[in-house]
A and B are shown apart, each in its own frame.
Chain A
Amino acid sequence: MSTRKPNDFKSELKPIWCPGCGDFGVLASLYRSMADLDLDPSQTVIVSGIGCSSRLPHFASTYGIHTLHGRPLPVAMGVKLANPELTVIAVGGDGDGFAIGAGHFPHAARRNVDITYLVMDNEIYGLTKGQASPTSLYEQKAPSTPFGNPEDPLNPLALAISAGASFVARGASFNTKALTELITQAIEHKGFSYIDAMSPCTTFNNTQESWKDAVTDVAPEHDVTDRVQAFDLALRGGFALGILYRQERLSQTERYKAILEKAKPSDVDTMLDGFNARKGAAIGKPA
């Protein structure tokens, strides 16, 4: 039974988001999920990039690392590999994760880095005042796409499934109860958990009402262990909320643990002995 309350995870800083911003709902869900899981704040690290949503670590009373635009995933990986005991949650927006940081996403997924990645997807760049993002719709008008967006949007869920994420889900900021449950399951999952949290930007791309109308639940008969079904749901399933895919597979942490167990213990003096010129140092080979 958890002794912690969601409020215990609030920092003394108040969110600087616009009134009505979806990120409030995501943050509230995260507080509640951390409380439900009874996470020790000093053993929890929230990692973010740059953007409106990436300010989130400042609003939580855990350890946090507010990194560079697009870089939360490799930073989070370093944190987790250095100390596997920590609970590591990466957060950010769609621009941070799928434009500038897109190069890191498939690698975090295929490595099955044991972290949770929560993307607040508003299909727009909010902090820079409304330009099109990688998830903006075709023909969407924005300051940088005055003739309508000539590009098709990226599908983060399909990308996550194809790249090897072992937990893939969609939630929505306006459905905090379900989102809390998804975050909880994602944190509990061993391996790379990706949650696409629909989180409307009420200032520059107010999709709140249309999204509320569009969302459905993932059908109860959907088999979350079937990757092809999950991929189909990601591509053709509209805005189904819930878990699309879940796979049990060794996490990066477990794989490196196995490497450490295989390595024959040594020390610097033994290694220096290996270079002894008189005994025939093995050139070029770390034998």
Chain B
Amino acid sequence: MSARHSVVVRLAGESGEGVISSGDILTQAAARGGYYTQTFRTFPAEIKGGPCMYQFRLSDEPIWSHGKDVDLLVCFNQEAWDLNWDSLGPEGSILYDVTEVTIPDEYLPRARPVRMEELAKEIGGSLRAKNMVAVGAVTGVISFDTTPIEELVLRRYAHKEGVADANIAALHAGADEAADLKGRYPLVAPVEVEEDRMLISGNQAIAVGAIAAGVDYFAGYPITPASDILEWLSVRLPQTGGLTIQCEDEIASLASVVGASYAGAKAMTATSGPGLSLMGELIGYAGTAEIPVVIVDAQRGGPSTGLPTKTEQSDLNQALYGSHGDAPRVVIAPVSVEDCFFATIDAFNYAEQYQLPVILLTDQGLATRLEVIHRPDTSQIELTPRKTSKGVARDEYKRYEYTPDHVSPMGIPGEPNGMYVATGIEHDEYGHPAYTPEIHLGMGHKRWDKLEPLKTTGRQAAHGDAHPTDVAFIGFGSTFGPVREAIDRLLEQGLSVGSFYPRILMPFPADKVIDFVKDAKRVVVPEVNFTGQLARLIKAETGIELESVAKCDGLPFTAEAIMDLVTQEVAA
């Protein structure tokens, strides 16, 4: 069989069986071996029990999605088969635990039993080694080097006598299973492997991006799928002299972030939809009192508790409009793991420059997926300083002074000439409570007009034809990758297609969108939510005709699904 450029592997089992750690180890080993990888996982909202799944795709070439058709499905138990059989590609093979799983007859020719539990107990010394047998079996079939895995196992269990050896023995035993499938999916070996590659998740890229942006203070409350950021910064932020605190709720988290920023710190919190709802009132406060804050929302399935461990893009409306009154904010949606790093720096820069809340929208898929990216060049990072009262004479100082760019000097406690009272009540230029029509109108202009330049200066994302004549895709956030992959294939087929992804959704770059679609026969708006929130926003802002493709099953788009949208006409 000729070597392939991409293989998709899916591991499935019960939470607690080591499915996720198997996937992590394989991904890590693949990245170490010079492959590009992208992962996708779902797991139950419970700690023990419930189905979980880890899919990873590896390739010698850069990839933009986690893949649709599974080449190798590994079933740890019967439920894993029952829930995942339909993800198998037409040529896909199956590895399954011989004691746990029954495979229907028609699939048996491409299914191979693996003695996962048996070998785990016999050779690995414990049922816990089941996942290592499975990892070994995978490496046998798709034939990649087990050396990196052995190193990883040794490192992970270095502190536990004998455990590493037992795991490695289980790994080797697994590799000898399904012997006749050996080498069934030969991969093209990576040719050029740059030394600057990183394996990193969206949440980690945000956390390290915040460090690059100079974050001083982080407060958060545990919530899936954003908790990684709190945990990572709890370790790392003190290493740069900053401080991370776990608060009693999301309200306290953002309130303390507001306080820290008021005192001059670069401050941030991270949450998911339910937490963002709780923060709503403070978002309006920070917008009115003009205090810079950064809020990460790793979206999950909603409404209410919803699907805490699945992906969705349904907080767009709440990010754009959440809070009472006309509350200004910037909403920015990174389009890839790499962009999570840069968008976080942008978020801090916009917050500091415009003195308001910036909401960084990701989703469970983007936040938790691991991806091989190139190391960001930190020497190119530019940080925007806050306009402060430094150098302003005391008797001339007005905290909310009307200025040409609508941004006023902020007094920072400790500065002798900047004393003022920050307030959410309507106020005059001095910050004194004031309610006249002139003042309310003037301050309303100040709060909103300062954002106008961002519509043209904000960095957006795009791929393919700049003015496509066949299909123009508009989306936000994590759908960028599968759409990009689909565009590349469609361009090869001779179609004129392209995507425009407003990274900055508030203020909305309406003129850029109108220009992008001017020649397009079709405008297609894929998004992962029920009501087509982005499509409604685009219609409201631009009035253009479009086809809304709102998909709401807790799963991300695949490139194949995007291709299908082009080949099959979609109802408007």
Shortest C-beta distance, A278 to chain B (Å), equals: 6
Majority secondary structure, A binding face? mixed
The chain A residue with its CB closest to the CB of B151 is A280
Known A86-B414, A272-B376; contact A78-B219, beta-carbon cutoff 8 A:
yes
Count residues of chain A with CB under 8 A from any CB of chain B: 59
Check B257 for interface membership: any CB of A closer than 8 A: yes
Cα(A3)–Cα(B152), bound, Å: 66
**Contact residues in B for A64 (Cβ distance below 8 Å):** 420-422
Q: Does B326 contact A (CB under 8 A)?
A: no
From residue 247 to 287 of chain A, which have CB atoms closer than 8 A to chain B?
256, 259-260, 262-269, 271-272, 275-284, 286
- State A22–B79 Cα separation when bound (angstroms): 68
User: B385-428: contact bitstring with A at CB < 8 Å (1 yes, 0 no)?
Assistant: 00000000000000000000000000101111111111111000
CB of B420 within 8 A of CB of A74, answer: no
The answer on a CB contact under 8 Å between A276 and B419 is no
Chain A residue contacts of B251, Cβ below 8 A: 71, 74, 103
What's the nearest-Cβ distance from chain B to residue A114, in Å? 13
Contact with A along B27-54 (1 / 0, CB 8 A): 1100110100000000000000000000
* Contact between B376 and A278, CB atoms less than 8 A apart: no
B148 touches A268 (CB 8 A): no
| B572: Cβ under 8 A from any A Cβ | no
Q: Chain A contacts of B249 at CB under 8 A?
A: 103
Does B263 lie at the interface of the complex (its beta carbon under 8 Å from any beta carbon of A)?
Answer: yes
A67 close to B414 (CB less than 8 A): no
CB distance from A276 to the nearest CB of B (A): 6
Q: In the complex, what residue of chain A is closest to B35 when comparing beta carbons?
A: A277
Q: Which of A55-63, A175-183, A215-223 contacts B (4 or more CB under 8 A)?
A: A55-63
Kindly state whether residue B238 has any CB partner on chain A within 8 Å.
yes
Whether A78 contacts B433 by the Cβ 8 Å rule is no
B260 within 8 A of A: yes
Q: Are B423 and A66 in contact (CB under 8 A)?
A: yes
Kindly state whether residue B252 has any CB partner on chain A within 8 Å: yes
Q: Is the CB of B255 within 8 A of A71?
A: yes
Q: Is B155 an interface residue (CB 8 A)?
A: yes
The answer, yes or no, to whether A240 is at the interface (CB within 8 Å) is no
Judged by a CB distance under 8 angstroms, whether B304 is at the interface is no
Contact B208 A272 (CB under 8 A): yes
A252 to chain B, nearest CB (A): 9
Q: Which of A42, A272, A282, A283 touches B413 (beta carbons < 8 Å)?
A: A42
Using A58-B433, A82-B263 as known contacts, say yes or no to A74 and B256 having CB atoms under 8 A apart.
Answer: yes
State how many angstroms separate the Cβ of A58 from the closest Cβ of chain B.
5
Is the CB of A124 closer than 8 A to any CB of chain B?
A: no
Interface presence of B134 (CB below 8 A):
no
A267 cross-chain contacts in B, Cβ below 8 A:
240
Partner of B199, one of A265, A268, A275: A275
With both chains docked as a complex, state the minimum distance between the C-beta of A68 and any C-beta of chain B, in angstroms: 5
| Mask of B452-470 contacts with A, CB within 8 angstroms, 1/0 | 0000000000000000000
Q: How far apart sit A71 and B200, CA to CA, in the bound complex (Å)?
A: 36
Among listed B95-103, B228-236, B508-516, B525-533, interface-contacting one: B228-236
Instruction: Kindly provide the distance from the CB of A164 to the nearest chain B CB, expressed in whole angstroms.
Output: 13
Q: Is B163 an interface residue (CB 8 A)?
A: no
**Distance of A93 from chain B, by nearest CB (Å):** 16
Chain A positions 22-73 with a Cβ under 8 Å from a chain B Cβ: 41-45, 47, 55, 57-58, 61-68, 71, 73
Please name all residues of chain A whose beta carbon is closer than 8 Å to the beta carbon of B226 when the two chains form the complex: none
A75 at the interface (CB under 8 A from B): yes
Residues of A within 8 Å of B216, CB to CB, are 82
B34 / chain A contacts, CB cutoff of 8 Å: 278
Asked whether A278 lies within 8 Å of B414 as measured between CB atoms, the reply is: no
A83 beta carbon closer than 8 Å to chain B: yes
Q: Is the CB of A76 within 8 A of B193?
A: no
Taking a contact as CB atoms under 8 Å apart, the answer to whether A260 and B432 are in contact is no
- Contact-residue bracket for chain B: 35 or more
Contact of B238 with A79 in the complex, beta carbons under 8 Å = no
Instruction: Determine whether the beta carbon of A275 is less than 8 Å from that of B235.
Output: no
Q: Is B267 in contact with A43, judged by CB distance below 8 angstroms?
A: no
- Interface-central residue, A43, A76, A262, A278, by most chain B CB under 10 Å: A278
Q: Find chain A residues with CB under 8 A from B155 CB.
A: 280, 282
Given known pairs A78-B267, A107-B252, the reply for A277 and B372 (CB within 8 Å) is yes
Interface check B127, CB cutoff 8 A: no
Evaluate contact between A61 and B199: CB separation under 8 angstroms: no
B residues near A78, Cβ cutoff 8 Å: 217, 219, 255-263, 265, 267
Kindly state the separation between the CA atoms of A266 and B232 in the bound complex, as whole angstroms. 14
Contact residues of A between 92 and 126, Cβ < 8 Å to B: 103-104, 107
Which residue of chain B has its CB nearest to the CB of A76? B259
From A73, A107, A283, give the contact of B28 (CB < 8 A).
A283
Scoring B31, B151, B289 by chain A CB atoms within 10 A of each residue's CB, the highest score goes to B31
- Known contacts being A58-B432, A266-B236, A272-B376, is A63 close to B197, with CB within 8 Å? no
Complex formed: what's the CA distance from A278 to B239 in Å?
Answer: 24
**B378 close to chain A: CB less than 8 A:** yes
Q: Are B375 and A272 in contact (CB-based, < 8 A)?
A: yes
Contact present for A65 and B259 (CB under 8 Å): yes
B282 at the interface (CB under 8 A from A): yes
- CB proximity to A under 8 Å, residues B355-370: 370
Q: Which residue on chain B has the smallest CB distance to residue A283?
A: B24
Identify which of A58, A66, A67, A278 contacts B32 (C-beta below 8 A): A278
Say yes or no for B211: interface residue by CB 8 A criterion: yes
Chain A residues within 8 Å of B417, by CB: 42
CB proximity of B79 to chain A, nearest CB, Å: 25
B370 nearest CB neighbor, chain A only: A283
Residue ID in chain A nearest B247 by CB atoms: A74
Chain A's nearest CB lies how many Å from the CB of B182?
A: 26
CA distance A81 to B267 in the complex (A): 11
Q: How far is the CB of B418 from chain A (nearest CB, A)?
A: 8
Residue of A nearest to B416 (CB): A42
Query: Which of B239, B261, B289, B413 is packed against the most chain A CB atoms within 10 Å?
Result: B413
Asked if B142 lies at the interface with its beta carbon under 8 angstroms from chain A, I say: no
Chain B residues with CB under 8 Å of A79's CB are 259-260, 262-263, 413
Q: With A and B bound together, what is the CA distance between A277 and B243 in angstroms?
A: 28
Of the A-B pairs whose beta carbons lie under 8 Å apart in the complex, a sample of 7, sorted by A's number, is A13-B432, A74-B248, A256-B243, A263-B238, A275-B200, A275-B375, A286-B231
Given contacts A65-B259, A65-B423, A103-B252, 17 further A-B contacts (CB under 8 A): A42-B415, A42-B416, A45-B413, A63-B418, A63-B419, A63-B421, A66-B422, A74-B252, A74-B255, A77-B256, A78-B257, A78-B265, A83-B264, A107-B252, A276-B197, A276-B198, A277-B198
